[in-house]
Chain A
């Protein structure tokens, strides 16, 4: 029998908090994407923990879909970062203060 589910839930909450803190404080768009990945992984960990605790495979199926969506999000997001970098020669989000291309 593995450790209680509460330990994993607290660990996931801490991971989510670290990801949110990075998303709020860092200003490089690439690092912000990495922090979004951290938050997604925290939620995935929660899903798997509840899947084990509630004996329902649906949680693991949800994690599967989250991974697919995360892959699509990173693809498009990094495409946007590359496109912005060609215009502005920077990935800092502070310099993206206007919508005008």
Chain B
């Protein structure tokens, strides 16, 4: 209906295949390490979709932050805890939980798509048939995003700085308090006075 060239369609199909197959892998795979690798596949598919819609900066951040940091954090925790054994997927403690979840999700997705289609994909028929913003050659996506973040959304940016500090402090506290209590338990169990105060 709309003139999209063959390479654009191919890029979209590639991104969609990566996204859907990776997401289904996260959903179905038993091994948590394999699930994390499927998640990387999905994240790369989303990065391709970002590039195809000329969000270059976000695509780079997607690969660096998501695939580079968050998934590595997942893998680190999986291997640190040693939970890379299989989950018992066959056991179903709540009867009919999967059926109800599947029905609910299908209804939700169908509702979303129907609502969007009914409202002409929310943007009105003109904008959709126009195909969106033209990619101006030489327009720096990084400059546009940076200008918006540092002027219009400056308060939100500062708030994220505070949020990151709080998250770091919280993670350190969660990991540290537990370890100190274990050490105290060990110290009282073995009654060895030289292990006390070694970490303080």
Contact = CB atoms under 8 A, between A and B. Distances in A.
Contacts of A45: 46, 49-50
Nearest to B49: A45
A75 to B, nearest CB: 5
B191 interface: no
A5 to B, nearest CB: 6
Contacts of A57: 144-145, 147-148
B134 interface: yes
The 4 A-B residue pairs whose C-beta atoms are closest, nearest first, are A72-B167, A24-B101, A79-B174, A17-B109
Give chain A's interface residue range (CB within 8 Å of chain B): 35 or more
Interface of A: 1-11, 13-22, 24-28, 30-31, 33-35, 37-38, 41, 44-45, 48-55, 57-58, 60-61, 63-65, 67-76, 78-83, 85-86, 91-92, 94
Interface of B: 1-5, 8-9, 11-12, 15-16, 19-20, 23-24, 26-27, 32, 35-36, 39, 42-43, 46, 49-50, 52-55, 57-58, 61-62, 65-66, 69-70, 73-74, 77-78, 80-81, 83, 87, 93, 97-98, 101-102, 104-106, 108-109, 112-113, 116-117, 121-123, 127-128, 131-134, 141, 144-145, 147-149, 152-153, 156-157, 160, 163-164, 166-168, 170-171, 174-175, 178, 182
